[in-house]
């Protein structure tokens, strides 16, 4: 049981710890806003806030000795924006990969004539085709199975050792990271869509040949169904064979994020 003087000491020291805790909390909250899985609209806000609070309470005793002691609530209010940006940058960097994977599904859907039915994607908070949604769900499954969510959380927590609170600066290295990941995400999207696009091209050539040799065949009505079936079958085979590509891409992006933030 606490004595009255111990309770009084804790109460007097509380204004000192609250600004420091807020800085730690907001760095983790940035991850909960922008990261895959954690930032999904399907996850209730209360769950994300509770998870951020638990992680902040867990890591705070470890990083507290390195936090500045002269913090006030006023200075912490300006500092939380930089801390929030750390988590958002890390989460957004990995989210670019999923945007590229969704792009592959959207390209396939457009070429196969399956883009008429749009659906809402809560992971990226955007509208996409049904194939784009399928590609995202497969990528998220691979991400969770290989432990990418744990690596992502570990990366954010490790930044406290290399980037002290209120010291983050959005410099050229961060811009290089984002632009490089944008290029990589676009390349990954094209690599995933290429087998299906080549298959659809061959299907179109075959249907064109049939329309010339069998004029009685209504190629417009038959061809739409054939292209859709071929696209779905080729997309399924591509997704089944793309696990290694997705895993390597996720690992590479996390390594690049850790290198940019000085984590080696």
| DSSP H or E segment with residue 153 | helix 148-162
Instruction: Tell me what the pLDDT averaged over the chain comes to.
Output: 79
pLDDT at 95 over 80: yes
Mean pLDDT along residues 85-108: 87
Band (pLDDT 50/70/90 cuts) for residue 8 is very low
- Which tens digits make up the pLDDT trace of 63-88? 877 776 666 666 677 778 888 888 88
Residue 196 CB partners (closer than 8 Å, separation 6+): 108, 111, 112, 231, 234, 235, 238
Alpha-carbon span 203 to 229, nearest angstrom: 11
- Position 2 scores a pLDDT of 38
CB-based contact 123:94 (threshold 8 Å):
no
- Which tens digits make up the pLDDT trace of 171-216? 888 888 888 888 888 899 899 989 989 998 888 888 878 777 777 6
Choice among 25-29, 60-64, 127-131, 148-152 with the minimum mean pLDDT: 127-131
Cα dihedral 124→128→132→137 (10° resolution): 40
Alpha-carbon span 110 to 228, nearest angstrom: 11
Residues making up the chain, counted from first to last = 264
- Position 11 scores a pLDDT of 40
pLDDT at 168 over 80: no
CB atoms within 10 A of CB 130: 16
Alpha-carbon span 56 to 64, nearest angstrom: 11
Mean pLDDT along residues 94-102: 87
Q: What percent of the chain has pLDDT over 70?
A: 81
């Amino acid at each position: 049981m606490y004595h009255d003087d111990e309770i009084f000491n804790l109460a007097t020291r509380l204004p000192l710890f609250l600004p420091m805790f807020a800085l730690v909390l907001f760095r983790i909250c940035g991850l909960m806003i922008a990261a895959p899985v954690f930032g999904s609209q399907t996850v209730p806000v209360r769950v994300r806030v509770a998870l951020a609070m638990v992680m902040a309470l867990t890591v705070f005793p470890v990083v507290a000795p390195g936090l500045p002691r002269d913090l006030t609530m006023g200075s912490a209010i300006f500092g939380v924006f930089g801390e929030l940006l750390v988590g958002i940058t890390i989460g957004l960097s990995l989210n670019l990969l999923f945007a590229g994977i969704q792009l592959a599904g959207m390209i396939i859907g457009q070429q196969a004539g399956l883009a008429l039915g749009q659906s809402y994607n809560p992971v990226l908070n955007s509208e996409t085709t049904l194939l784009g949604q399928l590609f995202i769900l497969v990528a998220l499954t691979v991400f969770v199975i290989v432990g990418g969510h744990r690596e992502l959380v570990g990366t954010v927590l490790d930044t406290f050792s290399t980037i002290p609170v209120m010291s983050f600066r959005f410099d050229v290295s961060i811009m290089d990271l984002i632009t490089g990941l944008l290029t990589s995400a676009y390349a990954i999207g094209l690599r995933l869509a290429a087998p299906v696009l080549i298959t659809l091209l061959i299907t179109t050539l075959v249907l064109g040949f049939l329309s010339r040799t069998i004029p009685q065949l209504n190629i417009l009505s038959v061809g739409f169904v054939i292209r859709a079936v071929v696209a779905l079958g080729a997309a399924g085979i591509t997704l089944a064979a793309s696990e290694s590509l997705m895993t390597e891409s996720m690992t590479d992006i996390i390594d690049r994020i850790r290198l940019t933030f000085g984590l080696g």
